[in-house]
Structure 1
């Protein structure tokens, strides 16, 4: 039996369209300066009708949670037991998410989380959350370990944002601007490697040959620690970002070297 599928409305369609691109967005009132979620046709605090959308980094903390041990429908039976949490996002709004990649006893109030979109049997990707864990200090980083994944669609909004900053880097036919490969790789690193100690310094970035990004492609990338060393009193950490499109073609092959602060 399939799980229920979201049915977008006029108010929620922008949210689900962004979700399909791997982006978490929320509403923001320019009058009372408050963030709100779920989407509504006007500000719930002051009644302002002209409300805007902003993009969230997807990082927050568990406000409360419940452990589900009895399925509400047969479609959820195989997921038992699972955790549903209310998460306070750093931008100032609260949303409900299902926790993934952890055991129920690992979830605690105040635990830091990251929202990710899960592409399953539903038409629209669903927001879920993973635990961020403790500060990723030099001693805790493990070479060979995959630290996180990120999926997004190379949509027109992303291309428009890029070309507004770099007008000389334009699409060529169905190929996205070449610089987007670097941007998506860096975004994957920034979203996956949390929480990082403050003060890290980027030492180098290397891009190897891979297929160009296509407009409309859905890119799934992962970040792994490929090595670390102490040299002349500094801590160097290497990361590998690898991304593929929906056809399995490698489109991102990036090596990052950072001087790790702690």
Structure 2
């Protein structure tokens, strides 16, 4: 079981469920991983101990290209805490990855630059003790 913690500089740290441990370890190396089912070949995200599509337990961790398209987004103008308020405005959204899964993440672009369907690519930032993926628009 995982619990939320805070880093020394105040950033909340993500919940680290055991099924997703390879994902969190890959982020520390600035790599993005996801699961793919060997039974039905579907991308699986978030991480599971079995495939939500066919029930197989034959899940493999794969490296993601780190590229996708912007599926939806919202620009936050009022942060929920003092720490998040310090970086407003910021944008979050769902990215449809080339491999077929969706990832909820921060998007490093202004509201004026954003549009559903635009190409994005991963970059990595450090928040507290954890490296996290955020996405920027492809130029």
Query: Greater helix percent: which structure?
Result: 1
- The aligned residue for residue 129 of structure 2 is 123
- What are the superposed Cα offsets for residues 120-155 of structure 1, whole Å, 9 maximum, x if unpaired? 3x212011001102xxxxxxxxxxxxxxxxxxxxxx
Higher relative contact order (CA 8 A, sep 6+): 2
Supply the distance in 2 between the matched residues of 1:46 and 1:22 (Cα, whole angstroms): 30
Distance (Å, rounded) in 2 between the aligned partners of 1:117 and 1:66: 20
The CA deviation at 1:38 is 1.4
2:42 aligned residue:
34
Query: Post-superposition shift, 1:16?
Result: 0.5
1:195 aligns with none
- Deviation of 1:104 after TM superposition, in Å, equals 1.5
**RMSD, aligned α-carbons:** 1.2
1:58 to 61, 66, 88: 66
TM-score normalised by length of structure 1: 0.48
The 2-side partners of 1:91 and 1:48 are apart by 19
What pairs with 1:128-143 in structure 2 (closer than 5 Å)? 128-133=134-139
* Structure 2 length-normalised TM: 0.89
Greater than 6 Å deviation, 4+ residue runs: none
**2:79 is equivalent to residue 71 of structure 1:** yes
Structure ID, larger Rg: 1
Aligned to 2:120: 113
Deviation, 1:22, is: 0.8
Q: Which residue of 1 aligns with 2:107?
A: 99
Alignment of 1:250-261 (within 5 A): none
SS at match of 1:7: coil
SS of the residue aligned with 1:79?
Answer: coil
Write out aligned runs for 1:127-166 (5 A). 127-133=133-139
Q: Distance in 2 between matches of 1:28 and 1:58?
A: 15
Quote the offset at 1:115 in angstroms: 1.2
